[in-house]
Structure 1
C-alpha cells in the first residue's frame, strides 16, 4: 500500500526554505525562489 501525504502549500514551503537558507539550501537558489513567488507572482496551475 502506498501512502500519500497532502502538500502543505507554497507559503509553508517558502518559510521552510527561508529558515534553512545557507545551511540546507543554497542561498542563491532560495533567493531566486523567493523572488519568483514574492516579487514576480509565480503560481502553480
Structure 2
C-alpha cells in the first residue's frame, strides 16, 4: 500500500477524533468494550452525516 502526506493527515485526524469523542484516554476499558464503543460511535457518526 502506498502512503501519502494527505492520507497520513486524514488518518491522524481520524485517530484524534476517535480519542477525543469515542474512547476517552482517562477511562480504562477492555479491548472488547473499546470495540463495542467504536462500532456504536461509527454507526451514529454515519447516521448523522
TM-score tier by shorter-chain length is 0.3 to 0.5
User: Which has the larger share of helix?
Assistant: 2
TM-score (norm 1): 0.37
